């Protein structure tokens, strides 16, 4: 009976283990398309053998648990790469919108027909109108053409600056939305931390750990974070600068604010903007555009508008208008460089106030108009001509867009490679699970057959040798 008892234990433990394995396979199959799910494997180990007079005899199998096949190092690498890729992707989208502000030009046949011709054509038209005026300085139509081109140029500056300021304001709303999403994930991670730490630390927390990893990946899409494993399988999450975001079951609540027109991210009174930018994520990319790229573009426009307007006004004030009076300012300018592109406007509406003549040379003289036209080829903006300054700015912006695009493509390729590796380790293959299911079914049937035979042998022994049919 000792032999039959041992065989009974072996077959019953095999049936139990096979049942657990079948459940694991079924669970894997059911979650094949569940985001963040990590494939589970049934882990078996040999039961402690029994010591008999004939030596040690095996006592079957023990189903210890279903263990998720996750690679923590690979998961962390994906999260880190996701942060950098999300930052460059969000920055790229905004930079392309920024570039579009300066790429559009009117398709009208006349450069004076629309205020949407753009700054480059506006500069060409403005200086060209003075070249025409210098040949016939008293011609009222040519004088009107100068004022028209001045209005178009100032309007182009206003439109471009306004577009950038609106984009900056729009980014503020996007950052607020990202922070709201991040707060939800931080609270979820804190709750999962508490649940995981309440489990047996020697065992896999399964679905709870899958959800925590999925939340971490989603959070990495939004902001840059660092993760530190703590006791009882817990996790502390911080910014790259070490500011705590999740500690145990407690989450930090982030907020947004505005300083000098630029959106900022705060933890209470602690400004996290610089560390968020450094960390990456969608928020990092947006903040970089709002706090660095757009202000740099605005400064370039403001510098061009201020220096151009100042030089034009200076020369016009040195000449004589059509009434024989000293010339005044053509452009109304901001008091400082900052804000000049948004505020520049034409100060006069009467064409006769244009000072085309040199002082004391008579109203039919065009000397001052010649000097005004010569500004087109003069190094009056940061040591180069107005058109070259603007062209260099647009070219630099284009180079930045190309560089960020190239970087983003490389980062995306890296993520694809890492996620493929992750899928090979942690993903569910329906073909593999189908094979495992077939094997487990056969093992279960075999164990059941042994169990049935032992049951009949025991019954026969109890019934004093009366045999029963074995199917």
Q: Are strands 270-271 and 262-267 parallel, antiparallel or unpaired?
A: antiparallel
Residue pLDDT, tens place only, 171-227: 999 999 999 999 999 999 999 999 998 887 777 778 898 899 999 999 999 999 999
* Locus of tokens 């980062």: 411
pTM listed for this prediction: 0.83
3-state helix, strand, coil in the chain (%, to 5): 60, 15, 25
Average pLDDT (223-245) is 90
Q: Which of 179-183, 270-274, 456-460 has the lowest mean pLDDT?
A: 456-460
Bridge partners, 263 (sequence order)? 258
Structure tokens at 272: 């996290």
Residue pLDDT, tens place only, 299-341: 999 999 999 999 999 999 999 999 999 999 999 999 999 999 9
* Locus of tokens 């903006």: 381
Whole-number average pLDDT of the chain = 86
| pLDDT value of residue 63 | 66
Q: Which of 5-9, 157-161, 186-190 has the lowest mean pLDDT?
A: 5-9
Structure tokens at 350: 């009467």
Please check the confidence at residue 382 and state whether its pLDDT lies above 90. yes
Confidence of residue 115 (pLDDT cuts 50, 70, 90): very low
Distance in angstroms (rounded) separating the CA atoms of residues 90 and 170:
13
Bridge partners, 45 (sequence order)? 62
Which residue ranges make up each domain of the chain?
A: 2-69+437-462, 76-416
Residue pLDDT, tens place only, 251-266: 999 999 988 888 999 9
Residue pLDDT, tens place only, 65-111: 777 778 888 989 999 999 999 999 999 999 999 998 887 543 333 33
What is Dmax (Cα atoms) for the chain? 142
| pLDDT value of residue 435 | 77
Question: What DSSP line would sit under 209-276, residue for residue?
Answer: HHHHHHHHHHHHHHS--EEEE-GGG-EEEE-TT--EEEETTEE--EEEEEETTEEEEEETTEE-HHHH
Please check the confidence at residue 443 and state whether its pLDDT lies above 90. no
Question: What DSSP line would sit under 72-103, residue for residue?
Answer: HHHHHHHHHHHHHHHHHHHHHHHHHHHHHHHH
46 vs 389, more confident: 389
Please check the confidence at residue 148 and state whether its pLDDT lies above 80. yes
Return the H-helix or E-strand segment holding 281.
helix 281-288
């Amino acid at each position: 009976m000792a032999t039959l008892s041992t065989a009974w234990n072996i077959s019953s433990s095999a049936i139990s283990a096979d049942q657990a394995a079948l459940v694991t396979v079924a669970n894997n199959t059911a979650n094949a398309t569940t985001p963040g799910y990590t494939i589970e494997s049934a882990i078996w180990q040999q039961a402690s053998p029994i010591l008999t007079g004939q030596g040690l005899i095996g006592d079957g199998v023990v189903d210890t648990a279903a263990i998720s096949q996750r690679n923590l190092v690979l998961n962390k690498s994906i999260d880190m790469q996701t942060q950098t890729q999300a930052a460059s992707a969000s920055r790229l989208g905004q930079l392309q919108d920024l570039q579009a502000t300066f790429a559009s030009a009117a398709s009208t046949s006349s450069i004076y027909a629309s205020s949407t011709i753009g700054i480059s054509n506006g500069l060409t038209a403005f200086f060209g109108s003075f070249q025409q005026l210098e040949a016939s300085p008293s011609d009222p139509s040519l004088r009107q053409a100068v004022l028209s081109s001045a209005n178009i140029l100032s309007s182009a500056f206003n439109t471009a600056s306004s577009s950038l300021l609106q984009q900056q304001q729009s980014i503020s709303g996007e950052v607020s939305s990202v922070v709201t999403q991040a707060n939800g994930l931080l609270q979820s991670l804190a709750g999962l931390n508490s649940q995981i730490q309440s489990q047996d630390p020697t065992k896999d927390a399964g679905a709870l750990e899958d959800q925590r990893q999925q939340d971490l990946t989603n959070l990495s899409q939004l902001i840059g974070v660092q993760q530190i494993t703590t006791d009882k399988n817990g996790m502390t999450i911080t910014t790259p600068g070490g500011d705590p975001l999740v500690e145990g079951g407690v989450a930090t609540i982030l907020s947004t604010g505005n300083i000098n027109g630029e959106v900022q991210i705060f933890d209470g009174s602690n400004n996290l903007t610089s560390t968020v930018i450094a960390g990456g994520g969608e928020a990092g990319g947006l903040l970089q555009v709002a706090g660095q790229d757009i202000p740099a573009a605005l400064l370039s426009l403001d510098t061009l508008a201020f220096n151009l307007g100042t030089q034009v006004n200076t020369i016009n004030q040195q000449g004589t208008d059509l009434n024989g009076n000293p010339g005044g300012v053509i452009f109304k300018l901001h008091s400082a460089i900052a804000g000049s592109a948004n505020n520049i406007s034409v100060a006069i509406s009467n064409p006769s106030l244009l000072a085309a003549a040199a002082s004391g040379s008579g109203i039919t003289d065009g000397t001052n108009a010649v000097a005004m036209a010569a500004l087109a080829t003069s190094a009056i903006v940061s040591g180069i001509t107005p058109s070259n300054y603007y062209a260099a700015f647009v070219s630099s912006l284009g180079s930045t867009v190309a560089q960020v695009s190239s970087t983003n493509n490389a980062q995306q390729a890296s993520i694809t490679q890492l996620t493929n590796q992750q899928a090979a380790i942690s993903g569910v293959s329906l073909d593999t699970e189908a094979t495992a299911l077939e094997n487990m079914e056969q093992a279960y049937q075999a164990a059941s057959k042994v169990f049935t035979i032992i049951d009949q042998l025991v019954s026969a022994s109890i019934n004093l040798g009366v045999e029963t049919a074995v199917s």
